[in-house]
């Protein structure tokens, strides 16, 4: 197995910068679209053979250094007693919404049998892949936003109302989600994933003060529970103002969005490997402009303990496969000004 990605996660600088892309298995790929015409998204996630095939598509086409399991951060919610739907043009819908402490009884501890399809897909993949496989989950706070809002949100009114009006009840919700997430991630590790990424997509809606109270303790609890069995990457979005707190989380790797300069990040996260941080929509621009930005990130990333090239968020549906292939080749061949 190629191990440059794992080396970088462990803080060992490999012979070249490893690269993979968040949401690299998805709608921008013709191979994916062909399968998607036959099955709805949830069926694809729940059918191990399909999930494995879609996971492997970008590895074969792009020559990336890691695969990420084709699934969704909301998948475990069904195994906790809630219903999830993925509606075209609207996105995920979770029901019933949990907005008070009285609603908490609707949420159960996770039943692993109900997500066994995830573990079956992992077992297929570890036999087929020649690169490491990344498993993942949402952070407890990000999961809580979907559980409370019922879908994505612009202002997170219900989340913040619950959080500020009944902090005790909100902590109970976070604790419940944390314990189930730990069980879910340990199940993925037992099935064979080589690394874990925690997606804290909506942590950026919090002030530093509230991040310390409602987000960080639960992320730390998850990280401590995994006991360094595999490296753990922590991704968050729009959180440059939370860098100090994220640095203290205990994650092995910090994944950056595009709203922070890589040079500044190398200084702020002096002792951690970093991942990121190209704006996904930069890939829709002219080739010269794309590579100018990629090169800038790669040069700055040389100052990090180790650097994994990635986007600051998932691949946009309008991205050309050929563009991604060229970026992968460029990253692999890159020599910094100091080399």
Determine contact, residues 92/83, Cβ cutoff 8 Å.
Answer: no
Count CB atoms within 10 A of the CB of residue 78: 17
151 in Cβ contact with 159 (< 8 Å): no
Residue with the two structure tokens 């010269």:
288
In Å, how far from its chain's centre is CA 185? 13
Alpha-carbon distances, residue 149 vs 112, 167, 313 (angstroms): 25, 16, 22
Continuous H helices in 16-107: 30-36, 41-46, 48-62, 75-78
Helix (H) or strand (E) holding 14, with range, is: none
Q: Cα–Cα–Cα angle for 151, 152, 156, nearest 5°?
A: 105
Residues annotated as catalytic (active site), given as ranges: 23, 27, 36, 72, 146
SS3 content of the chain, % helix, strand, coil (to 5): 50, 10, 35
Give the side-chain half-sphere CA count within 13 A for 315: 23
Going from the C-alpha of 295 to that of each of 5, 20, 166, 268, the distances in angstroms are: 19, 16, 48, 21
**What distance in Å separates the CA atoms of residue 5 and residue 22, rounded to the nearest whole number?**
14
């Amino acid at each position: 197995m190629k191990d440059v990605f794992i080396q970088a996660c462990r803080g060992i600088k490999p012979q070249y910068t490893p690269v993979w892309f968040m949401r690299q298995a998805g709608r921008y790929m013709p191979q994916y679209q062909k399968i998607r015409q036959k099955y709805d998204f949830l069926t694809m996630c729940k059918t191990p053979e399909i999930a494995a095939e879609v996971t492997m598509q970008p590895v074969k086409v792009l020559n990336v250094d890691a695969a990420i399991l084709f699934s969704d951060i909301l998948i475990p919610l069904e195994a906790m007693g809630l219903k999830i739907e993925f509606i075209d043009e609207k996105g995920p819908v979770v029901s019933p919404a949990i907005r008070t402490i009285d609603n908490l009884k609707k949420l159960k501890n996770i039943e692993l049998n109900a997500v066994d399809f995830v573990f079956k897909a992992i077992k297929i993949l570890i036999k087929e892949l020649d690169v490491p496989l990344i498993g993942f989950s949402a952070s407890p706070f990000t999961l809580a936003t979907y559980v409370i809002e019922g879908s994505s949100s612009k202002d997170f009114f219900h989340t913040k109302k619950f959080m500020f009006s009944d902090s005790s009840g909100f902590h109970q919700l976070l604790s419940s989600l944390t314990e189930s997430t730990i069980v879910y991630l340990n199940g993925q590790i037992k099935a064979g994933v080589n690394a874990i990424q925690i997606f804290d997509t909506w942590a950026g809606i919090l002030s530093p003060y509230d991040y310390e109270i409602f987000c960080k303790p639960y992320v730390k609890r998850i990280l401590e529970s995994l006991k360094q069995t595999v490296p753990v990457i922590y991704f968050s979005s729009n959180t440059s103002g939370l860098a100090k707190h994220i640095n203290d989380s205990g994650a092995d790797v910090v994944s950056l969005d595009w709203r922070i300069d890589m040079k500044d990040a190398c200084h702020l996260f002096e002792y951690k490997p970093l991942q990121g941080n190209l704006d996904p929509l930069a890939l829709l621009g002219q080739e010269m402009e794309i590579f100018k930005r990629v090169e800038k990130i790669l040069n700055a990333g040389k100052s990090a303990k180790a650097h994994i090239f990635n986007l600051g968020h998932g691949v946009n549906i309008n991205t050309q496969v050929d563009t991604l292939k060229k970026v992968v080749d460029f990253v692999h061949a890159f020599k910094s000004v100091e080399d």
